[in-house]
Every structure is written in structure tokens, then in C-alpha cells.
Amino acid sequence: MTNLKNLDTGALEELGEKLRERILEVVSQNGGHLTSSLGAVEIIMAMHHVFDAAKDPFIFDVSHQAYAHKLLTGRWDEFSTLRQFGGVCGFTKPSESKFDYFVAGHSSTSISAAVGAAKAIALKGEDRVPVVLIGDGSMTAGMVYEALNELGHHKYPMVIILNDNEMSIAKPMGAISAYLSKALSSKTYQGLKKRVEGALEKLPSSVDYMMRRFERGFKLITPGILFEELGLDYIGPADGHDIKELIEIFGIAKSMKKPVIVHVQTTKGKGYAPAEGKHEHWHGVAPFDKDKGELSKSKARSATAIFSDKLFELAQRDEKVVGVTAAMPSGTGIDKLLEAYPTRFWDVAICEQHAVTSMAAMAKEGFKPFVAIYSTFLQRAYDQIVHDVALQNLPVVFAIDRAGIVGEDGETHQGAFDISYLRSIPNIEIFAPRDEKSLIAAMDYAYGLDRPCAFRYPRGAFGVDGEFESAPFESGRSELLIDAPSDALFVGYGNGVAKAYKTLQILKNEDINVALLDMRFVKPIDKDAFKELSKRYKKWFVFSDGVKMGGIGEILSLFLQEEGISDVKVDSFEFDDLFITHGKTATVEESLGLLPTQLAQKVGNILKTGRRFESPTAI
């Protein structure tokens, strides 16, 4: 671990340049979160200078900005493996380093975690202080204010560093505000404030009332009024790239022995001109040419782009079509709708719960809402899906992006659970397209449906494109794509159809014939079709990018049991009961034994020997 405590300002500034160079070098080669990490370098150095990372819990919200922290805690050399399979994770991960206090990847959890840590520290009577680094975007989520509400009541010692890199929390209001903000962070002001507060307790009630009215009026022209009213002390705004000022302010905050918000303002992408400022496309990047400052573009058309174009078409056709996303406008393809129809499409920031409930009300008013959210983030709105949408049987459409393995972002972002967590909810229909044509057909079906529904699609391009014609979607109807003179049937769902088809092609070259069914719906399932298929095919193999527990294999096994069909065996190639690590998608799939070549070998062995497949990684 790098010891920063004895470094002077000049040495720290030189180290900051080296950190930025290393981050830029590795991210340009591996991809990753660039602008947020470049913008937080001085903050993280000041944290390590003032606090003790081996003792004080360093809690990074989302933690996509924590690259400098990783570099300063003994991972300089192995940082070259960032986001690669078996390498350094792109987020904080306690199993990777003792200096990564808490798992992160989703937004707005940090202050709640810090409150819990502060309670434990108080109960154990230890001299430690939780330190939180949270961005202004994360401050839009309600969980933050739940935590701040309790923190303001109990007054646990804590330092919360608010990294305002979009200036959306509080812009400086001219010269007076700039002066007041600097004064608020001075030792003189903090000492004066403490003395005044003490004096107010001793004043007669009438004078005390007038003085407190003056104090409240003074707060109204400072940026910290919100936090002060919640019972927290506020310092700032401060220059988040002035290492000397940050060290001084963090030292003051630490010495106060109570909850303090330190508001710092930074520039995203600091130190790399092409990425500096409010450029969303530089936030999370694939490998790029750092010398030219050019991002590489995928040649294949993504499922997200197909969704975006089709939704645009529906919105042009019907003014009742509306939509929402939660802080992922470009990631979900809603950005072009926001620009074209700003009164009908919304980015509500990191507020998935609010997004879902607000669209439920719009559905009640006769509109047709599309909720575009990543699979991993839709988890955050589960109660709203159940209570506010499904219970009232409102026709909200959930467009679930990033379903399946998403690659380098790893455990916190894999879209593995949506099939399982949605199918237990009454009133909702759940289906999935396999390619571009079927995604368009799925959206036409969802548009005309008078009840809640959800469909999923992968990150990037579909695995098949144009191999099959696509029939219109009908409720609970599957589609037999390939018939075969065999007793083996591949059951694919969503992008799993592509994996099944590729596996089938490998087996075909070995003179092993297998039929292929696109299941299309997991709720309701095509019972009539499966009854007929059970008469011809006695060995079913499931291909789906979701977990086994509550997944397609269990759905089919339950169906067979309920129908009293005992001569059909089901083998599932879904994900085992574990969190899936980060790395390139193909590499991760290989580690799970889920590449088409591996699956073909497993299927071939089963068909030849009659023995069922047992996953070695199942728990």
C-alpha cells in the first residue's frame, strides 16, 4: 500500500499525474469507467492522506470511480488485468482486497452501509470513522435520504464526500456564495459556529429565537441548507482538484467527530481533454485509441438500437406511447426519444422505484408506458412491479435490457435473475425475442397488450440474425424452428435460441440430429405444444441466459410433473446457483462450460450414454 501521509503537495500532485496516466493506459486497453475515475483522483489521494484505509471504512458509492484507490492499495501492477477474467474487478470487492470495505456496483447504497458501520463502531467503542465517496448522480435516489434522515438523528461520526461533477447539487451563486462557501470550510468558521451554538443554549428565549432566525436566514444563502436541515454539518463547495485544500478540509471534517457533508466540485475526465466535461459516452467505454481520443464502434447492430428504433416508430404512430428510463438514456436507447418527445419520455435519474410507479399511474390514465431498465437494476423496483403494476393489472411494458451475461462489469451487473424474480408475479406475461425480427414482433405484441408484460434482450447484438423467419407473437405460443428425426429437443429462450442453434450445428456435423424450439413465453407457457412434443421427443435440453433456480428447466419439469408425463428427461444449461464473475463474455461462458463447443460435447455424451448432465459447479 502506498503511504501518502508524509508526501508534500508537490509530490502528491506528481503522484496524481501518474495515477491518471495509469488509469488512462489500462482503460484504453481494457475498457472501463473512465471519466468518473479520472475526476476523483485528488479526492481519493486526500482520503488516503487524512484517513487510515486499513482502519477507517472507505465506502465508495457504485465504486466505478475507485480506480485510484485500487492503485494506491497494492494493485498497481495487477491493475493491467482490470475487468479481465480472473483479474482486478472494476468495482470494489472485499474478496479482492481488505481495503475494499464493501461490495458496490449499484447506486446509492454507500451512506446506508456507512450508517451500519458507524453503529457497529459505536457499539464496539472503537476510534474509527466511516468515509463515504458519493457522486451527485447517486444523490437522486431515495435510499440516500433514508440513510441521511437516520444519520442526522443519531449523529454518528462520519465524513461523506459529495463529488459533484455535474454541478447539479448546488451551483456557486456569484462572488458572495463563493466567499461564504470558502468561509464555511475554514477552521475559524467551524470554531465560531461551535461557540455560537454553545452561546445560544444560554441566551434568554426571546434573544435565542431571534438569533436562530438569523442563523436560518444565513443558511438560506449557502449551498448546504438541505444537509444542515437534516441535522448534518456541511462544508463546501470546495475545489475537488486542489489536493492541498482537500487535505485541509478533510482534516477539519475528521476532527469534528460528527456527521459532515464535504461538498467538492470536480470535472469528469480530468486530465484527458477528449473526455473532460459532460460527455456521457466517455463514462463507461470499450477499448479505445487514447492518442486519437476516438472510441471504437461495434459493427453489429445492437438489440438496444433495434428496441430504440422500434419504440420511436410506435411513438410516432401513437401519442399515447410514453416511456421512462432511470439514468441510462443512451444505454437503453431512450435518448433519441427524450430528444424527439421531451414531454412523453423521461429520464428520472437513479430512481427505479419512482420510474415504475409513475408509469403505473400513466397506464391507469390510458397511456402505454414502456419502462426501459437493465435487468440488474430492475431488481431495485421489485415491490413497485408487484404492488403498483401487477396487483392493479396495469398495461405497463418492461423492456429489460442487458439480460444474461454482460461481461466485464461482473457480479453486480449480470442480468441473471429477471426470469426467476418476475415469473412468480400474477397478471404479468413474460416473453423474449431471439433476433431483430422477433424483437420487433415482440414490441408490436407488447404495444397491443392490455396487461403488464416484460420482455428481455441481451447486451450487444443477438446471437442469430436472419436464420429464421419470425411469426407474430401470440400469448403463450412457442415456435418450432427445426424439426428432426430424433428424440432430442433443444428448448431455447431469448438469446438462448442462438446458443442452442450453434450447438445444434456442431452436432449436425457429427451426424447427430436435434430439433429446436423457440419457447418465446415463460408465462404463460405453450402447454399444448409441450404435450405434443413430449410424445415425440424424450430428451429436452434447455438453453437460457438465466439462473436454474426458478428458471426454464424448473418450469418445464413442473409442467411434466403436473401433466403426469414421466418419460421425458430435462437437462438445463442455465446458470448455477452462484454469482457470475467478470470478464469477456466468451471467457466467462467457457469457465461455466457454456460455450457451444462445450455444450455440444455434453449433449453428445448424454445422447450416446444416456446419462444425464450434472454441472460440476452446481451448489
Residue-wise pLDDT for 429-449, tens only, equals 999 999 999 999 999 999 999
Residue-wise pLDDT for 149-160, tens only, equals 999 999 999 999
18 and 153 fall within a common domain: yes
User: What is the pLDDT, as a whole number, of residue 176?
Assistant: 37
Q: For the chain, first and last CA: distance in Å? A: 36
- Please count the structural domains in the chain: 3
109 and 168 fall within a common domain: yes
432 and 307 fall within a common domain: yes
Residue-wise pLDDT for 493-503, tens only, equals 999 999 999 99
Average pLDDT, the chain: 89
* Highest mean pLDDT pick, 267-271, 277-281, 567-571: 567-571
Please report whether residue 184 resides in a domain.
no
Q: Alpha-carbon distance 7 to 4, whole Å?
A: 5
Question: Which residues belong to the active site?
Answer: 268, 352, 380
For the cut 60, the answer to whether the pLDDT of residue 212 exceeds it is: no
Q: Kindly indicate the confidence band of residue 200, based on its pLDDT and cuts at 50, 70 and 90.
A: low
The helix (H) or strand (E) run that includes residue 407 is: none
User: What is the pLDDT, as a whole number, of residue 215?
Assistant: 52
Tell me how far CA of residue 336 lies from CA of 310, 323, 552, in angstroms: 11, 12, 34
- Domain end: 394, 421, 456, which one? 456
Residue-wise pLDDT for 118-133, tens only, equals 999 999 999 999 999 9
Q: Alpha-carbon distance 316 to 370, whole Å?
A: 14
247 and 352 fall within a common domain: no
- Domain end: 285, 318, 334, which one? 285
SS3 content of the chain, % helix, strand, coil (to 5): 45, 15, 40
Mean pLDDT for the stretch of residues 576-589: 95
Mean pLDDT for the stretch of residues 519-534: 98
Please report whether residue 227 resides in a domain.
yes
- Domain end: 456, 491, 514, which one? 456
- Signed CA dihedral, 170, 176, 178, 182: sign only: negative
Q: What is the DSSP string of 381-405?
A: GHHHIIIIIITTT---EEEEES-B-
User: What is the pLDDT, as a whole number, of residue 220?
Assistant: 47
452 and 483 fall within a common domain: no
For the cut 50, the answer to whether the pLDDT of residue 83 exceeds it is: yes
434 and 359 fall within a common domain: yes
User: What is the pLDDT, as a whole number, of residue 239?
Assistant: 93
Q: What secondary structure, in 3-state letters, does 298-360 show?
A: CCCCCHHHHHHHHHHHHHHHCCCEEEEECCCHHHHCCHHHHHHCCCCEEECCCCHHHHHHHHH
Mean pLDDT for the stretch of residues 162-187: 52
104 and 132 fall within a common domain: yes
417 and 509 fall within a common domain: no
Please report whether residue 293 resides in a domain.
no
User: What is the pLDDT, as a whole number, of residue 185?
Assistant: 52
The C-alpha cell that represents 273 in the structure block: 481533454
Please report whether residue 431 resides in a domain.
yes
423 and 490 fall within a common domain: no
The C-alpha cell that represents 232 in the structure block: 448534518
User: What is the pLDDT, as a whole number, of residue 252?
Assistant: 94
Mean pLDDT for the stretch of residues 41-56: 96
Q: Alpha-carbon distance 302 to 279, whole Å?
A: 21
Please report whether residue 473 resides in a domain.
no
Cell 497494492, residue located? 74
Beta partners for residue 260, in sequence order: 159, 233
CATH value at residue 47 = 3.40.50.970
Tell me how far CA of residue 160 lies from CA of 127, 129, 157, 305, 522, in angstroms: 17, 10, 10, 38, 45
For the cut 90, the answer to whether the pLDDT of residue 380 exceeds it is: yes
Mean pLDDT for the stretch of residues 304-316: 98
Report helix, strand or coil for 131. strand
Please report whether residue 144 resides in a domain.
yes
256 and 120 fall within a common domain: yes
User: What is the pLDDT, as a whole number, of residue 618?
Assistant: 35
24 and 164 fall within a common domain: yes
485 and 442 fall within a common domain: no
Please report whether residue 618 resides in a domain.
no
CATH value at residue 527 = 3.40.50.920
Closest CA to 233 of 150, 155, 135: 155
- Domain with 19 in it: 9-172+223-285
The DSSP letter of residue 476 is T
Please report whether residue 563 resides in a domain.
yes
User: What is the pLDDT, as a whole number, of residue 171?
Assistant: 42
